[in-house]
Protein backbone atom coordinates (compact mmCIF):
# COMPACT_ATOMS: atom_id res chain seq x y z
CA UNK A 1 0.00 0.00 0.00
CA UNK A 2 1.24 3.49 -0.79
CA UNK A 3 0.03 6.58 1.07
CA UNK A 4 0.90 10.12 0.06
CA UNK A 5 0.33 13.38 1.88
CA UNK A 6 1.74 16.88 1.62
CA UNK A 7 2.57 17.27 5.30
CA UNK A 8 3.76 15.15 8.18
CA UNK A 9 0.73 15.72 10.42
CA UNK A 10 -1.73 14.55 7.76
CA UNK A 11 0.40 11.48 7.03
CA UNK A 12 0.65 10.65 10.74
CA UNK A 13 -3.13 10.91 11.06
CA UNK A 14 -3.63 8.65 8.03
CA UNK A 15 -1.18 6.05 9.39
CA UNK A 16 -2.84 6.15 12.82
CA UNK A 17 -6.32 5.66 11.33
CA UNK A 18 -5.03 2.77 9.19
CA UNK A 19 -3.25 1.15 12.14
CA UNK A 20 -6.38 1.40 14.31
CA UNK A 21 -8.48 -0.13 11.51
CA UNK A 22 -6.01 -3.03 11.30
CA UNK A 23 -6.23 -3.58 15.08
CA UNK A 24 -10.04 -3.67 14.92
CA UNK A 25 -9.75 -6.45 12.32
CA UNK A 26 -7.25 -8.38 14.46
CA UNK A 27 -4.22 -7.41 12.37
CA UNK A 28 -1.12 -5.32 13.02
CA UNK A 29 0.93 -3.11 10.71
CA UNK A 30 4.49 -4.41 10.40
CA UNK A 31 6.77 -1.53 11.40
CA UNK A 32 9.85 -3.29 9.98
CA UNK A 33 8.25 -3.50 6.51
CA UNK A 34 6.72 0.00 6.62
CA UNK A 35 8.84 2.87 5.29
CA UNK A 36 8.55 6.66 4.98
CA UNK A 37 10.11 8.68 2.19
CA UNK A 38 10.05 12.43 1.60
CA UNK A 39 10.23 13.42 -2.08
CA UNK A 40 12.49 16.47 -2.46
CA UNK A 41 14.47 18.04 -5.27
CA UNK A 42 17.03 19.62 -2.91
CA UNK A 43 20.04 17.83 -1.44
CA UNK A 44 18.96 18.51 2.16
CA UNK A 45 16.90 15.74 3.75
CA UNK A 46 13.74 16.67 5.65
CA UNK A 47 13.16 14.43 8.65
CA UNK A 48 9.71 12.90 8.83
CA UNK A 49 8.94 11.23 12.15
CA UNK A 50 5.92 8.97 11.64
CA UNK A 51 4.93 6.53 14.36
CA UNK A 52 2.90 3.34 14.50
CA UNK A 53 1.94 3.17 18.14
CA UNK A 54 5.16 3.89 20.01
CA UNK A 55 7.49 2.69 17.22
CA UNK A 56 9.01 5.07 14.67
CA UNK A 57 8.80 4.13 10.99
CA UNK A 58 12.17 4.06 9.19
CA UNK A 59 12.76 6.92 6.76
CA UNK A 60 14.45 5.82 3.52
CA UNK A 61 15.91 7.52 0.43
CA UNK A 62 14.67 4.86 -2.01
CA UNK A 63 12.43 1.79 -2.14
CA UNK A 64 10.89 -0.62 -4.62
CA UNK A 65 7.08 -0.66 -4.81
CA UNK A 66 5.20 -2.91 -7.25
CA UNK A 67 8.38 -3.43 -9.26
CA UNK A 68 9.29 0.25 -9.63
CA UNK A 69 12.13 1.92 -7.77
CA UNK A 70 11.25 5.25 -6.17
CA UNK A 71 13.98 7.68 -5.09
CA UNK A 72 13.65 10.76 -2.91
CA UNK A 73 14.56 13.06 -5.83
CA UNK A 74 11.67 11.66 -7.90
CA UNK A 75 13.91 10.76 -10.85
CA UNK A 76 13.61 7.46 -12.71
CA UNK A 77 17.24 6.88 -13.79
CA UNK A 78 17.99 4.37 -11.03
CA UNK A 79 14.78 2.45 -11.82
CA UNK A 80 15.74 2.23 -15.50
CA UNK A 81 19.26 1.14 -14.57
CA UNK A 82 17.89 -1.54 -12.22
CA UNK A 83 15.60 -2.91 -14.94
CA UNK A 84 18.35 -2.89 -17.59
CA UNK A 85 20.65 -4.70 -15.15
CA UNK A 86 17.94 -7.34 -14.62
CA UNK A 87 17.82 -7.91 -18.38
CA UNK A 88 21.60 -8.10 -18.56
CA UNK A 89 21.70 -10.64 -15.73
CA UNK A 90 19.16 -12.85 -17.52
CA UNK A 91 21.11 -12.50 -20.76
CA UNK A 92 24.35 -13.41 -18.99
CA UNK A 93 22.77 -16.37 -17.23
CA UNK A 94 21.37 -17.68 -20.51
CA UNK A 95 24.51 -17.06 -22.59
CA UNK A 96 26.24 -20.43 -22.10
CA UNK A 97 22.89 -22.24 -22.23
CA UNK A 98 21.97 -20.62 -25.54
CA UNK A 99 25.42 -21.37 -27.03
CA UNK A 100 25.12 -25.08 -26.28
CA UNK A 101 25.40 -27.25 -29.39
CA UNK A 102 22.92 -29.68 -27.84
CA UNK A 103 20.15 -27.07 -27.96
CA UNK A 104 17.99 -26.98 -31.07
CA UNK A 105 17.20 -23.72 -32.83
CA UNK A 106 13.54 -24.23 -31.95
CA UNK A 107 14.43 -24.49 -28.25
CA UNK A 108 16.68 -21.41 -28.50
CA UNK A 109 13.84 -19.44 -30.06
CA UNK A 110 11.42 -20.60 -27.36
CA UNK A 111 13.81 -19.49 -24.59
CA UNK A 112 14.47 -16.19 -26.37
CA UNK A 113 10.77 -15.44 -26.83
CA UNK A 114 9.68 -16.82 -23.44
CA UNK A 115 12.40 -15.50 -21.12
CA UNK A 116 14.73 -12.92 -22.62
CA UNK A 117 12.25 -10.76 -24.56
CA UNK A 118 9.74 -10.45 -21.66
CA UNK A 119 12.55 -9.49 -19.27
CA UNK A 120 13.85 -6.81 -21.64
CA UNK A 121 10.33 -5.53 -22.33
CA UNK A 122 9.70 -5.31 -18.57
CA UNK A 123 12.87 -3.24 -18.32
CA UNK A 124 11.66 -0.84 -20.99
CA UNK A 125 8.29 -0.19 -19.32
CA UNK A 126 9.71 2.59 -17.16
CA UNK A 127 11.23 4.43 -20.14
CA UNK A 128 7.94 5.47 -21.65
In a domain, 22, yes or no: yes
Q: How many domains does the chain have?
A: 2
User: Residue 8 and residue 73: Cα distance in Å, rounded?
Assistant: 18
Q: Are strands 35-36 and 51-52 parallel, antiparallel or unpaired?
A: unpaired
* 61 shares its domain with 106: no
Assess whether 48 and 64 both reside in one domain: yes
In a domain, 2, yes or no: no
Please indicate, yes or no, if residue 88 is contained in any of the structural domains.
yes
User: pTM to 2 decimals?
Assistant: 0.59
Which range marks the domain in which residue 104 is found? 77-127
Strands (E) across 66-113 are located at 68-71
Q: How high is the pLDDT of residue 128?
A: 52
**Are residues 18 and 64 located together in one domain of the fold?**
yes
Query: Is residue 3 in some structural domain?
Result: no
51 and 106 share one domain: no
Q: Are residues 65 and 82 in the same domain?
A: no
Residue 97 is assigned to a structural domain of this protein:
yes
Q: Is the pLDDT of residue 97 over 80?
A: yes
- Cα–Cα distance between 57 and 32 in angstroms, integer? 8
CB count in 10 Å sphere of residue 15: 19
Helix 117-124 vs helix 77-98: crossing angle, to nearest 10: 170
Contacts of 69 (CB under 8 A, 6+ apart): 62, 63, 78, 79, 82
Same domain, 81 and 50: no
pLDDT digits (tens, 9 = 90+) for 4-55: 888 889 999 999 999 999 999 999 999 999 999 888 877 777 888 999 999 9
110 and 56 belong to one structural domain:
no
Q: Is residue 1 part of a domain?
A: no
Q: Are strands 55-56 and 51-52 parallel, antiparallel or unpaired?
A: antiparallel
Amino acid sequence: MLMTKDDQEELQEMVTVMSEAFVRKGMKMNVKKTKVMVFEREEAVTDCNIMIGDEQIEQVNEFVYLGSKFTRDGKCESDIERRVNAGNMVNGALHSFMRSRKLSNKARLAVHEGVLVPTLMYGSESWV
